[in-house]
Structures are given as C-alpha cells and as structure tokens.
C-alpha cells in the first residue's frame, strides 16, 4: 500500500452515563493511505462520530495511539498541535450549525488562510475566489451570508474551507446525509474529483453503506464501539462477514425492478 497518512491503534474512549462507564469506542485500529478514502459505517450509537472526534482530537482518548503524517498526534500540544490541525480538516453534517450563520462566505473560507498564516491579507480575496471556483461555486457568493445560501452551497463552502489549508486528511462526518439526492450526487462527485487532483485522504463516516460504496476504497464497519469488519468496499459489500455488515447491506432500500 501507498504511504500511510493516518494510523490508529487500540483507540478507546468511555463516557460516564448514570455513574457507569460506557465504552463509546473500544480497541479501534485502522489506517488510511495517501489519496485513499476509508468509509466508516455503522448504526446509530455504534461509535462512528466519537471515533472521528478522537481522530480530530476534539476529545481525548482513554487508550491507544493515533499517528498522523508520521508523528504522534496525541502527544502534541500548543503550536505543534495547531500546525497539525492545518493538515487535518473536517466537514460535518450540518454546515449551518458548524458556521456562524451571519458570517460571510468569504470570511468562513479565509479564516484558515489567516489563522494558519497561509496567504497574505492582500491576496486572500483571490485565494477565496479560487477556492470557490474549485468547489463549483460562483465568485459572487463570497459576499453572501452563510444563512442566505442553500444547504448544498453551504456544504460546498464547508469543503472549500477544509481545502483552504491544503490538508492531507479530511474527516467527513455524515457530510452528505442531510442533502437532497441530486445535490448529494454532485457533492460526492466533487469530493472524488478533488481527491484525484490533490491526493487528499478522506475518512468518510456514514450510516448509509450505499453512499460509502460510491466513494470509499475501503470500509470499516462499526458496532457497539468496535470495528467488527474491514476490507475493500466492494468485497465487504458483496460478502459481509459480520452480522452488522450483513444487516447494513440488507437494509439498503432498493428500487423496485421491472421483474420484481
């Protein structure tokens, strides 16, 4: 396999509930290669979102290690952590909740350019215009407020912002789940094209194995905090080995066929 961008070993996180410790993620191990998409699929409460938050270090694990781009992500502090954050970006399900709704599109996209000192102030409008163009949005959108644009446009802005700091890995947590099907198809195509251009890796979290099949090279199936099955996406879907994998495959709504 090509270079490994992310390597996770024995990752664990428990939360307290009613005085008891409940394991949200237990002993999770996986890796993501350069230019690769790893799909993480599982039912509600299986630990997918906790796993992505651990990888982003939005929460701290109880056990295990995370190596990113050759370094130990979990021991980083201060400036070193901030510098790594430039190379790991995220896109969430609801960009209206992720952004200040009154912020302008240009502001949202140029924040990472400013914070990570990537582009001088004078050059930022051009950089924003270029990023908007790359995600298929017209330049005039730069002056609109986040709340004024459509859900699909907002998710494109979220992707433009994630791309702004030229990350090696983007964690996408249910990033297309709230979109209409036609918009979803465009966003998935955009993600695939951007990956081909830049070699960025994706950790693509979804409850929908059909969406994962469209975009992920490999898939990890989660249930009750554990990764219960991993493998090349086509292979896992064709012959799932775990009960959860079988249930996820069986539950995909299927269009009625002429011969049904």
Partner 1 sequence: MSALVNISNLGVTFRDGPRRVAALSDVNLTIEAGERLGIIGESGSGKSTLALALTGLLPASAEVSGRIDWADGQPILGRDIGMVFQDPSSSLDPVMSIGEQVAEGAVAHLGLSWGAAKERARDLLAQVKLPDPDGLLRAFPHQLSGGQRQRVAIAAAMAAGPRVLIADEATSALDTIVQAEVVSLLDGLVKQQGITLIFITHDIALASQLADRIAVFRHAQLVEVGTARQVVTQPREAYTAALLGAHLDLGTPPLIGVAP
In the bound complex, what is the minimum distance in angstroms from residue 54's beta carbon to partner 1?
20
Residue 213 beta carbon to partner 1: minimum distance, rounded to whole angstroms: 6
Task: Compute the distance between CA of residue 157 and CA of residue 149 in angstroms, rounded to an integer.
Answer: 10
In the bound state with partner 1, the residue whose beta carbon lies nearer, of 35 and 136, is: 35
* Helix-strand-coil split of the chain, %, nearest 5: 40, 25, 30
CA distance 89 to 68: 12
Residue 139 C-beta: closest distance to partner 1, Å: 25
Nearer to partner 1, 23 or 247 (CB): 247
Q: Which is nearer to partner 1, 77 or 257 (CB)?
A: 257
Residue ranges in contact with partner 1 by CB under 8 A: 1-2, 33-37, 43-45, 151, 180-182, 184-185, 188-189, 192, 195, 199, 207-211, 213-218, 232-234, 237, 247-258, 260
Query: Closest by alpha carbon to 197, among 137, 244, 131, 152?
Result: 131
Cα–chain-centroid distance for residue 86?
15
Of 109 and 170, CB closest to partner 1: 170
Structure tokens at 13: 């996180």
Q: How far apart are CA 160 and CA 190, in angstroms?
A: 11
* Least Å from the CB of residue 111 to partner 1: 28
């Amino acid at each position: 396999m090509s270079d490994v961008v992310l390597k996770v070993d024995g990752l664990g996180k428990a939360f307290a509930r009613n005085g008891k410790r409940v394991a949200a993620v237990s002993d999770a191990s996986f890796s993501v290669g350069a230019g690769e998409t790893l799909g993480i699929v599982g039912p509600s409460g299986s630990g997918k979102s906790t796993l992505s938050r651990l990888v982003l270090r939005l929460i701290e694990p109880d056990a295990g290690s995370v190596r990113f781009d050759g370094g130990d992500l979990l021991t980083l502090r201060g400036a070193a952590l901030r510098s790594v954050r430039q190379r790991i970006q995220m896109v969430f399900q609801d960009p209206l909740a992720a952004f200040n709704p009154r912020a302008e599109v240009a502001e949202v996209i140029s924040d990472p350019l400013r914070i990570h000192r990537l582009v001088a102030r004078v050059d930022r409008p051009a950089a924003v215009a270029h990023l908007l163009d790359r995600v298929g949005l017209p330049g005039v959108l730069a002056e609109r407020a986040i709340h004024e644009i459509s859900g699909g446009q907002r998710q494109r802005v979220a992707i433009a912002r994630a791309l702004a700091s030229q990350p090696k890995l983007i964690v996408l947590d249910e990033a297309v789940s709230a979109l209409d099907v036609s918009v979803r198809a465009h966003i998935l195509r955009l993600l695939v094209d951007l990956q081909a251009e830049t070699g960025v890796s994706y950790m693509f979290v979804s409850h929908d194995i059909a969406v994962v099949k469209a975009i992920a090279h490999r898939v990890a199936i989660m249930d009750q905090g554990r990764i219960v099955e991993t493998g090349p996406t086509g292979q896992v879907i064709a012959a799932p080995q775990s009960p959860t994998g079988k249930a996820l495959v069986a539950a995909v709504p299927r269009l009625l066929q002429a011969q049904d």
